[in-house]
């Protein structure tokens, strides 16, 4: 029995089937495993390696290249403050200093209750809302110190649960794409043609 849940293993196999080559599914499977646990554990990377036909070291090498994938535990909410030029000029470093003091952690650390991990980003591409902050890759801003505190309170209380899912979940919508979708479409067309020929009514 692998680390991935039975449901996620079934989803992983469906994802692999979307690609002509199994290894192409490596990153989507990393996101799937991270959605399950909030981060990529060694056991999850071993599962992924078996599914795509590579070594766990190759999975780790890929995962550590991307900022959106974490190979160590992080908080339920990963709070990222942009300090690139537009945000810096709008007070991003003051917001970041306040965030460290408010959460009682430094950049790269997680609060004792496991709720928040604080990160600093080079650019979040939200310059029109500087200073820009992301929480689990959802955008907020512009924020000052008071706005940051209000955001943290909303996250703690669950008022933003419909907007910000737990870390690791990129989308709450499953999509049927790639080769399985094409096969489904072709099967549907063939079924309609067969029904027309026999007089049967497709369900």
Domain shared by 138 and 85, yes or no: yes
User: What is the CATH number for 26?
Assistant: 1.10.10.1590
d(CA 11, CA 112): 33
Q: Which residue has the tokens 């449901």?
A: 7
User: What is the CATH number for 104?
Assistant: 3.40.30.10
Residue 115 in any domain: the answer is yes
For position 18, what pLDDT does the model report? 86
Locate 51 and state its tokens.
Answer: 């599914």
Q: Is a pLDDT exceeding 50 seen at residue 33? A: yes
Question: Which residue segment(s) compose the domain that 51 sits in?
Answer: 6-71
Domain shared by 32 and 104, yes or no: no
Note whether 131 and 92 are within 8 A (CB): yes
- State pLDDT tens for residues 58-77: 999 999 999 899 999 999 99
Task: Give CA separation, 127 vs 83, 94, 146, 178, in Å.
Answer: 10, 16, 20, 34
Average pLDDT across the chain, whole number: 88
């Amino acid at each position: 029995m692998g680390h991935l849940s039975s449901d996620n293993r079934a989803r992983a196999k469906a994802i692999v089937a979307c690609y002509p080559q199994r290894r192409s599914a490596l990153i989507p499977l990393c996101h799937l495993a991270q959605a399950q646990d909030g981060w990529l554990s060694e056991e999850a990377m071993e599962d992924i390696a078996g599914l795509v036909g590579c070594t766990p070291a190759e999975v780790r090498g890929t995962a550590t290249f991307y900022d959106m994938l974490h190979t160590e535990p992080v908080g339920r909410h990963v709070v990222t403050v942009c300090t690139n030029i537009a945000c810096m000029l709008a007070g991003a470093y003051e917001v970041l200093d306040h965030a460290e003091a408010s959460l009682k952690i430094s950049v790269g650390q997680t609060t004792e209750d496991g709720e928040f991990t604080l990160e600093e980003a080079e650019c979040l591409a939200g310059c029109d809302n500087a200073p820009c902050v992301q929480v689990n890759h959802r955008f907020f801003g512009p924020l000052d110190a008071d706005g940051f505190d209000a955001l943290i309170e909303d996250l703690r209380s669950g008022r933003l649960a419909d907007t910000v899912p737990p870390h690791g979940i990129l989308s709450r919508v499953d999509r049927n794409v790639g080769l399985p979708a094409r096969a489904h479409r072709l099967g549907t067309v063939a079924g309609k043609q067969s029904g027309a020929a026999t007089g049967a009514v497709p369900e």
